[in-house]
Amino acid sequence: MANVRLQNLTKQFDGVTAVDGVDLDVADREFMILLGPSGCGKSTLLRMIAGLEDPTEGEVFIGDTKVNDILPKERDVAMVFQSYALYPHKTVRANIEFPLKVRKVPKAERAAAATAAAESLGLGDYMERKPGALSGGQRQRVALARAIVRDPAVFCMDEPLSNLDAKLRAETRAELIALHQRLKSTFIYVTHDQVEAMTMGSRIAVMLRGKIEQVGTPQEVYDRPASVFIAQFVGTPPMNILPAGSIEPGDHLVGVRPEHVHIVADGQLSMTVTLVEQLGHELLVTGMVGDRRVIVRQAAHSAVPAIGAEVRIAADAADRHRFDPVTERRIDE
Ligand code: ATP
């Protein structure tokens, strides 16, 4: 079993608390995403799981074994980095075989494992090239193949797609999902990209300032964000936050997703239109309600309001999210 359990995991660097008392259970074969803005501590958390960083406090378990004192190479964890970290003077084949060579796996066995991993990622024709003669996407595949040959129980991936262009990112995302299904290993994947998190994760742990703010399936996090921060970090365009007391009585903040705001003649609120964006498949209308910016997502070909027009907007009570005005945490009905 390769479930991963973190207990009160904490890391301080010279007075900076990068990770602050994190508890997290990652199930065997789960695809867990650590999502959060730059500096929230997600890479540090991942590095502690892989053994590249020692915790200041707390424990890491892989299966039933506490691994705090176990060296990275003995943890049955493979790490894939954004920067690929390939050896520039070695061929693709030698790069992929390297972890097996370190473990003194016999040559023929090494070669067979490298060939199988490379072919599963479409690298079969590039085995004798050096990394310098590969595209970014191909290099990232070499880094993945090098992780796969280790046959680890847990894959730790730190923003592996960040250096790829948008099209290649989308393709590689799909490949990673297929890879996870094929390998039946546990994946822990760091990203600041909510689209990656939503599309790949079986669950998402959203981090802010060293702490986990919410853990749930992508749909749970989208449908019931635990705070204003998560409501605006997950989903594009972000959730609208309306002024307290505007759409319903009370001093709480009200959040409404852009697809749940409707422009209707008898809407509860008045909005001044400031921007209209035609995206082909949909239409985004932005406006101001008091001092708050509000975005309305409409079907393509719906009526286009003029810039500067006053329109009325509405949102069903069932589609409203309520947050404490001070803590900005979700208020449960
Ligand atoms: P990014 O997406 O930008 O990589 P992150 O969420 O992965 O961000 P971390 O790299 O884990 O964040 O960093 C968390 C905090 O710890 C940051 O404030 C960072 O400056 C600090 N930090 C990370 N590594 C070190 C280090 N080796 N020494 C001192 N401070 C560090």
Residue 333 is predicted with a pLDDT of 64
Cβ burial, residue 301 (10 Å; 0-12/13-18/19+): exposed
Q: Is the pLDDT of residue 1 over 80?
A: no
Cis geometry, peptide bond prior to residue 237 (ω within 30 degrees of 0): yes
Q: What are phi and psi of 58, to 5 degrees?
A: 95, 175
* 3 state SS of 254: strand
The pair of structure tokens assigned to 180 is: 């996870």
With a pLDDT cut of 70, the percent of the chain lying above it is: 99
Q: What is the pLDDT of residues 94-144, one digit of tens each?
A: 999 998 998 899 999 999 999 998 988 888 899 999 999 898 888 988 998
Domains of the chain: 4-229 (3.40.50.300), 252-333 (2.40.50.140)
Separation of CA 45 and ligand 1 centre (Å): 10
Q: Which DSSP string do the residues of 40-51 spell out, in sequence order?
A: SSHHHHHHHHHT
Q: Whose CA is nearest to atom 1 of ligand 1?
A: 38
Separation of CA 42 and ligand 1 centre (Å): 8
**Amino acid, res. 205:** A
Q: Whose CA is nearest to atom 18 of ligand 1?
A: 39
Residue 254 is predicted with a pLDDT of 95
Q: What is the pLDDT of residues 44-84, one digit of tens each?
A: 999 999 999 999 999 999 999 999 999 988 888 998 888 77
Cα 67 to Cα 4, 64, 149, distances in angstroms: 10, 9, 22
User: What's the whole-number mean pLDDT along residues 241-255?
Assistant: 92
With a pLDDT cut of 90, the percent of the chain lying above it is: 74
* 3 state SS of 97: helix
Q: Whose CA is nearest to atom 7 of ligand 1?
A: 43
Ligand 1 near 260 CB (within 6 A): no
- Split at pLDDT 50, 70, 90, the class of 284 is very high
Q: Whose CA is nearest to atom 29 of ligand 1?
A: 13
Ligand 1 near 37 CB (within 6 A): no
* More confident call, 179 vs 203: 203
Strands 269-278 and 282-289: antiparallel
Q: Are the C-beta atoms of residues 255 and 240 closer than 8 Å to each other?
A: yes
Residue 292 is predicted with a pLDDT of 92
Atom of ligand 1 at shortest range from CA of 207: 6
Ligand 1 near 16 CB (within 6 A): yes
Ligand 1 near 210 CB (within 6 A): no
The conformation of residue 72, written as its DSSP 8-state character, comes to: G
Q: What are phi and psi of 149, to 5 degrees?
A: -65, -25
Separation of CA 207 and ligand 1 centre (Å): 13
Strands 31-35 and 186-191: parallel
Residue 105, C-beta contacts closer than 8 angstroms, at least 6 positions apart: 113
The conformation of residue 204, written as its DSSP 8-state character, comes to: E
**Amino acid, res. 128:** E
Q: What is the pLDDT of residues 190-239, one digit of tens each?
A: 999 999 999 999 999 999 999 999 999 999 999 999 999 999 999 999 99
Separation of CA 19 and ligand 1 centre (Å): 9
Q: Whose CA is nearest to atom 9 of ligand 1?
A: 41
Provide the Cα torsion 72, 77, 82, 85; round to 10°: 50
| Average predicted confidence (pLDDT) for the chain | 93
Q: Are the C-beta atoms of residues 128 and 93 closer than 8 Å to each other?
A: yes
Q: Are the C-beta atoms of residues 21 and 211 closer than 8 Å to each other?
A: yes
Q: What is the pLDDT of residues 29-47, one digit of tens each?
A: 999 999 999 999 999 999 9
Q: Are the C-beta atoms of residues 196 and 161 closer than 8 Å to each other?
A: yes
Strands 203-208 and 211-216: antiparallel
Strand partners, 79: 156
Cα 298 to Cα 123, 233, 239, 270, 317, distances in angstroms: 43, 21, 15, 17, 19
pTM of the model: 0.91
